[in-house]
């Protein structure tokens, strides 16, 4: 067992007669490691992109809700009356009348 460890540490398995088998295996394992690292980096990029898009969606949703609430406040009758007072227009004190049209059939 001690001899096997010494051979591995010295690298004699790489220069022996059947070293081609060993080199193929080492290259195969190296390629697999490179593919695994690339896949991991790709997955990390996707996770960061998903997190960024979620934050963007939350921002836009809060912006939409804020805009909708401001619109509701602007559409209130009291807000419209205040804006029209600045322009010199006041609400009517006479109630509206219903107009009835009779058909000419």
What average pLDDT does the chain have?
A: 89
Read off the pTM.
0.56
Domain that holds residue 46: 2-64
Number of domains observed in the structure of the chain: 1
Domain assignment present for 93: no
Domain assignment present for 94: no
Signed CA dihedral, 33, 34, 37, 42: sign only: negative
Residue 57 pLDDT: 98
Domain assignment present for 31: yes
Domain assignment present for 77: no
Domain assignment present for 55: yes
- Judged against a pLDDT cut of 80, whether residue 96 lies above it is answered with yes
Domain assignment present for 75: no
Is 73 in contact with 79 (CB distance < 8 Å)?
yes
Under the banding of pLDDT at 50, 70 and 90, the label for residue 42 is very high
- Judged against a pLDDT cut of 80, whether residue 39 lies above it is answered with yes
Domain assignment present for 23: yes
């Amino acid at each position: 067992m001690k001899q096997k460890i010494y051979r591995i540490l010295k690298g004699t398995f790489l220069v022996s007669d059947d070293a081609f088998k060993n080199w193929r295996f080492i290259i195969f394992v190296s390629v697999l490691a490179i593919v695994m690292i690339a896949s991991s980096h790709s997955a990390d990029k996707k996770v960061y992109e998903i997190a960024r898009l979620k934050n963007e969606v939350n921002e836009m949703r809060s912006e939409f809700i804020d805009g909708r609430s401001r619109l509701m406040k602007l559409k209130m009758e009291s807000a419209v009356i205040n804006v029209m007072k600045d322009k010199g227009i006041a609400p009517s004190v006479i109630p509206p009348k219903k107009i009835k049209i009779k058909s000419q059939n």
